[in-house]
Structure 1
Amino acid sequence: MKVSEAIATRRSIRAFTDQPVDRAIVTRVLEQAQRAPSGGNVQPWNAVMLTGEPMQALFARVAGEFPKGRAALAPEYNIYPPELDGAYEARRFGVGEDMYAAMGIAREDKAQRLQWFARNFQAFGAPVLMLVHTPKYMGPPQWSDIGMWMQTVMLLLREEGLDSCPQEAWAAYSPQVREMVDIPEDHIFFCGMAIGYRDADAPVNNFPVKRAPLDEAIRWDGF
């Protein structure tokens, strides 16, 4: 698979099959991803890979907290900036509305929307969940490195025929994640990533995800 094909076919998959994922494939992907760019070769990424009983135990722990609503949420950072507005907020709102529309869930159907949101904390049925963390003293440049590493992982997964969904939603339940998973106290818990094989027929995996035209993001000088 060409890099361009991996980019074109990668998307945040929110419905996975129950097909198991071979550890050898994930190991190969992670070994190759160690070549991701890193300023000063710091390589600030760290992760815990979950499957089987440990993963199900985490799911059960968070499910017990879900009925508490917002009272149970304790992210270690702002998942979205409080000041998010304009085109940025419109894009965020728009993709959610497009997703629910693809599944036939009306805007006023709060119960079904909440039920679907809970699927985040079952990794959308994926058999593997990666939990990403980094030392608390790392700054924006190192967080950028982590993003480039995660993108590298996701593209390499596509080369292997696998799919993924990066999930910052897991950060909302950081205390519960720490209770169930060994993440160092001096590290910040960043996000999860669901890994598995996509359900190709699921509507949630097939709606078009809009992207801004190039001239909204790029300015050309001297060309």
Structure 2
Amino acid sequence: MTGIIDRSRADSRADIYDRIVAERRSVRAFLPTPLPADLITRLFTVAGRAPSNCNAQPWTTHIVSGASLARIRNVLLEQARAGQIDPDVPLTSTYVDQYKARRIGSAVTLFEATGVGRNDTEAREASFLRNFELFDAPHAAFFFMPRYFGLREAADVGMYAQTLMLALTAHGLGSCAQGALSHYASAIKRELGASDELICLFGLSFGYPDEDHPSAAAITDRAPLSETVILHD
């Protein structure tokens, strides 16, 4: 009958969604196997259903694979080793209070999983450079928006990327959203032929996760709801 909710079906859908959200994680090691082109099209079509202010859909996404990805990887590594960043969006220079604690906790979790010692400078540097190796992923996406947009539209791009990451998880795939990939915006745009009227917000490595890599054990926790949500009766 119209208007009557099938509760059992709704509960089942909710359980599936809860599992997908819980299973999504930042994957830091990928298998070299590329995704089929039609699957990539499907995933980004689903991502395009994300909401945006006034339905502006402010995102422009460059998907990089194959030889193009190899060139981008080399460019990023070269820039990272040179150490001269030029992000379109200013970096957060200081994390304080609980935000600092959460950031440190995440780093410790990854270092412990991958056997990187606290005082092992060389290993820590190699771990950092893994970002620019794209964790060996067969694909990467770079997210841009027009320069004249602001925080509101940047949030829209974030919702678009989250929709994409959940879609990837639902298909048994992995991803890692990487703000570090936007540190070298000029080089990225030059390599991709992207207009300077766009700003690079962040990148995303994606593909089939390598579950045998030590980094797969690095599962970060989340703050309790009491720290992040304020309820008003």
Distance 2:54 2:78 in 1: 42
Confirm or deny: 8 A CA contact 2:80 2:132 kept in the other structure: no
1:111 aligns with 2:125: no
Distance 1:61 1:140 in 2: 28
After superposition, the C-alpha distances for 1:39-74 in whole angstroms (9 at most, x for unaligned) are 1101111110100111101111222233323xx211
1:75 aligns with 2:87: yes
Confirm or deny: 8 A CA contact 1:3 1:155 kept in the other structure: no
1:92 alignment counterpart? 103
What code does the residue aligned with 1:165 have? C
Distance 1:166 1:207 in 2: 15
Confirm or deny: 8 A CA contact 2:20 2:169 kept in the other structure: yes
Computing the radius of gyration from Cα coordinates, the structure with the larger value is 2
Distance 1:40 1:62 in 2: 35
Instruction: Show the 5 A alignment for 1:123-162.
Output: 123-162=134-173
With over 3 angstroms needed to count, the CA separation of the structure-2 counterparts of 1:67 and 1:142, relative to structure 1, is closer
Q: CA deviation at 1:27?
A: 0.5
After superposition, the C-alpha distances for 1:74-102 in whole angstroms (9 at most, x for unaligned) are 1121232x343100111112101111111
With over 3 angstroms needed to count, the CA separation of the structure-2 counterparts of 1:219 and 1:67, relative to structure 1, is closer
CA RMSD of aligned residues (A): 1.3
With over 3 angstroms needed to count, the CA separation of the structure-2 counterparts of 1:32 and 1:208, relative to structure 1, is closer
What code does the residue aligned with 2:112 have? A
1:180 alignment counterpart? 191
What code does the residue aligned with 2:139 have? V
What is the TM-score of this pair, normalised by structure 2? 0.90
Q: What is the percent sequence identity of the aligned residues?
A: 32
Distance 1:209 1:83 in 2: 21
What code does the residue aligned with 2:146 have? P
Q: Which moved more, 1:200-209 or 1:179-188?
A: 200-209
What code does the residue aligned with 1:48 have? H
Structure 1: tracts of 5 or more residues without a match: none
1:56 alignment counterpart? 70
Q: Which moved more, 1:170-179 or 1:22-31?
A: 170-179
1:171 alignment counterpart? 182
Distance 2:53 2:23 in 1: 28
What code does the residue aligned with 2:102 have? R
What code does the residue aligned with 2:18 have? S
Confirm or deny: 8 A CA contact 2:147 2:198 kept in the other structure: yes
SS at match of 2:212: coil
Distance 2:148 2:175 in 1: 28
1:35 aligns with 2:46: no
What code does the residue aligned with 1:128 have? H
1:6 alignment counterpart? 20
1:22 alignment counterpart? 36
